[in-house]
């Protein structure tokens, strides 16, 4: 059964719409540039509105509102306090173009299915729309929209990275491969300096520097893993300051 069919068959009520914010999610798709997706979203929203009307036995629901995705300009002299659900964003408005997200190359139904699955998984994890739920949604949204990390989006859409695993990943785990490599390098340098500061170092010509080709080096050894593993050797080139390690 497709995501569209599941949404059309769902019996919607006001309480469920408030709890999950699914109405806002689908409502924003009504103005999507993909005409097919826009029509489907309008049909689903109309069906949900009719469900709520029938359940409340009123001519029109007054407590349910599907917000329009229209971007409003924020006046710099406005005295009104921004709502937590519509935070003030600095700089130009974000769009699919500025975020470098291409919807034309991906099936609209698949994108909708992934979005619904992610929100459902997070809601089941926290059981309510609490602060932890909001923090997790915000973190995932920022990382998935990060234009310097297209690999994360592609792996989620393709199914290579499951929604369940995505929702359990830490911020560091969601970082791009370049960012993770940079963090590992910084961590290794910090470890090297910390180990070297308290360990006796010997000078030797046994090692050749891969940067300058010199052989005047200092080194020390530390047990950085389990006792049955080989010791790690930390080497520093005296000539150019380059350092490396090996086991």
pLDDT in tens, 91-141: 666 665 566 555 455 678 888 888 899 999 999 989 888 999 999 899 888
Residue 88's DSSP bridge partners are none
Orientation angle between helical segments 108-126 and 150-158, nearest 10 degrees: 90
pLDDT in tens, the chain (247 residues): 566 666 666 776 767 766 776 777 777 777 777 777 778 777 877 877 777 777 776 555 555 565 555 555 555 555 555 555 555 666 666 665 566 555 455 678 888 888 899 999 999 989 888 999 999 899 888 888 888 888 888 888 888 889 998 898 888 888 777 777 776 777 777 766 665 555 567 888 889 999 999 999 988 887 777 777 788 888 889 999 888 888 7
Indicate the SS3 state at residue 199: coil
Q: What is the pLDDT of residue 123?
A: 92
* The CATH number, out of the four listed (3.30.390.30, 2.20.25.10, 3.90.1300.10, 1.10.357.10), of the domain defined by the range 181-246: 2.20.25.10
| Residue 131 half-sphere exposure toward CB, CA atoms < 13 A | 0
Q: Where are the domains of the chain?
A: 3-69+103-177, 181-246
Q: What gap in Å lies between CA 52 and CA 57, rounded to an integer? A: 8
How many helices (DSSP H) and strands (DSSP E) are in the chain?
A: 10, 4
**Residue 139 burial (C-beta neighbours within 10 Å; 0-12, 13-18, 19+):** middle
């Amino acid at each position: 059964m497709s995501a569209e069919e599941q949404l059309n068959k769902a019996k919607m009520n006001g309480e469920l719409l408030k709890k999950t914010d699914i109405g806002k999610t689908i409502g924003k798709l009504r103005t999507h540039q993909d005409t097919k997706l826009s029509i489907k979203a309008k049909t689903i929203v109309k069906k949900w509105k009719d469900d709520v009307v029938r359940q409340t036995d009123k001519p029109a629901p007054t407590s349910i509102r599907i917000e329009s995705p229209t971007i409003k300009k924020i006046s710099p002299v406005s005295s009104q306090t921004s709502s937590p659900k519509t935070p003030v964003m600095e700089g130009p408005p974000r769009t699919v173009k500025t975020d470098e997200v291409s919807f034309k190359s991906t099936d609209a139904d698949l994108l909708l299915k992934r979005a619904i699955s992610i929100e459902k998984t997070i809601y089941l994890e926290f059981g309510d729309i609490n602060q932890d739920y909001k923090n997790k949604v915000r973190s995932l949204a920022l990382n998935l929209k990060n234009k310097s990390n297209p690999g994360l989006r592609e792996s989620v859409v393709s199914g290579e990275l499951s929604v369940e695993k995505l929702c359990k990943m830490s911020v560091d785990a969601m970082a791009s491969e370049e960012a993770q490599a940079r963090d590992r390098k910084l961590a290794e340098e910090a470890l090297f300096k910390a180990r070297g500061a308290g360990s006796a170092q010997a000078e030797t010509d046994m090692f050749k520097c891969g940067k300058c080709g010199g052989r005047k080096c200092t080194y020390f050894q530390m047990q950085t893993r389990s006792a049955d593993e080989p010791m790690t050797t930390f080497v520093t080139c005296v000539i150019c300051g380059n350092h490396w390690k090996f086991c």
